[in-house]
Amino acid sequence: MESSMTMKLLGTDTSPYVRKVRLVLLEKNLPHDYLVDAPRDPGSQVARVNPLGRIPALILDDATCVFDSPVIAEYADTLNDTPILIPRDDALARMRVKRWEALADGIMDSAVVVRTERIRAAEKQEPGNIERHNEAISRALAYVAELLGAGDFCEGAALTLADLALASALVYLDLRQPERDWRAAHPTLASWFARMAERDSMKVSLAGQS
Ligand SMILES: N[C@@H](CCC(=O)N[C@@H](CS)C(=O)NCC(=O)O)C(=O)O
């Protein structure tokens, strides 16, 4: 089924959840307008369309707002078959791709917590919270590196949502935790990421990021 809709995606260039969804739309060549809208900016329309006040928010032609990022990714994937990013017929393969997404989203969640702590005044930061979440990120990175091995793609022999989600998480780690040398710890993950970074979708999604 081809879609003729022009959807509107609200987001920012730094949000890893937004990047994941942008990569899905770009890889599937789905027509959409990407509108930079930071929820905390005065004048943001995010809270008007998504009661949670979060990005990404995808607005359809009939004004339906789709959130959050796994729901957007899954919906967008049904709009055409070029390519299919979430396996449809093989229940186990589908679960594995969604599990990769959960791992990537979990890395994003923990990195956002660490970032939120670190921008608080020093006396208000909770070092234990930062440590817990940084450890979760380290464990998750070791886990995905082991799972990926020397493979070209996270799941199966072609690109899936798993690759797009993981790449988005790693871009965010590079942005917020440049001191974390995950490439040295996980060289095969680094090689995979370098190949992902060559994709047009990644180049477009990175273009606006300072
Ligand atoms: N689980 C959500 C997380 C979305 C999220 O937390 N987005 C952040 C930006 S990275 C946000 O909009 N935060 C609200 C704010 O900045 O006020 C998803 O996957 O879409």
Could you tell me the pLDDT band of residue 210, with boundaries at 50, 70 and 90?
very low
| Ligand 1 centroid from CA 30, angstroms | 22
Cα separation values, 20 from 14, 92, 115, 207, Å: 11, 22, 19, 15
**98, 86 in Cβ contact below 8 A?**
yes
Ligand 1 site-directed mutation target among 12, 17, 41, most atoms within 8 Å of CB: 17
Q: Is 1's pLDDT higher than 90?
A: no
Are 104 and 65 found together in one domain? no
Are 70 and 95 found together in one domain? no
Are 108 and 70 found together in one domain? no
Instruction: Answer yes or no: is 82 within a domain.
Output: no
Could you tell me the pLDDT band of residue 49, with boundaries at 50, 70 and 90?
very high
**30, 40 in Cβ contact below 8 A?**
no
Assign residue 106 the CATH number of its domain: 1.20.1050.10
Nearest to 99 by CA among 160, 40, 44, 21: 160
Residues of the chain above pLDDT 70, percent = 96
Q: What does the DSSP assignment read for 123-167?
A: GG--HHHHHHHHHHHHHHHHHHHHHHTT-SSSSTTS--HHHHHHH
Assign residue 46 the CATH number of its domain: 3.40.30.10
The range of the structural domain enclosing residue 42 comes to 7-77
| Ligand 1 centroid from CA 149, angstroms | 30
Q: What tens digit of pLDDT does each residue of 17-48 get?
A: 999 999 999 999 999 999 999 999 999 999 99
Mean pLDDT of all residues in 126-135: 96
Q: Is 13's pLDDT higher than 90?
A: yes
Instruction: Answer yes or no: is 1 within a domain.
Output: no
E strands, the chain, are 7-11, 32-36, 57-59, 65-66
Mean pLDDT value across the chain = 96
| Ligand 1 centroid from CA 56, angstroms | 7
Q: Is 195's pLDDT higher than 50?
A: yes
Look at residue 168 and give its three-state secondary structure.
helix
191: which 2 tokens? 């090689």
Q: Is 208's pLDDT higher than 90?
A: no
Q: What tens digit of pLDDT does each residue of 84-130 get?
A: 999 999 999 999 999 999 999 999 999 999 999 999 999 999 999 99
Atom of ligand 1 nearest to the CA of 20: 19
At residue 4, the pLDDT reads 53
Are 62 and 103 found together in one domain? no
Nearest to 174 by CA among 193, 159, 192: 193
**72, 66 in Cβ contact below 8 A?**
yes
Instruction: Answer yes or no: is 49 within a domain.
Output: yes
At residue 204, the pLDDT reads 97
Interatomic CA distance for residues 48 and 65, integer angstroms: 10
Name residues contacting ligand 1 (CB within 6 A): 15, 17, 39-40, 53-56, 68-69, 105, 112
Q: What tens digit of pLDDT does each residue of 160-184 get?
A: 999 999 999 999 999 999 999 999 9
Interatomic CA distance for residues 113 and 134, integer angstroms: 9
For atom 13 of ligand 1, the residue with the nearest CA is 54
Atom of ligand 1 nearest to the CA of 105: 19
Number of compact structural domains in the chain: 2
At residue 209, the pLDDT reads 61
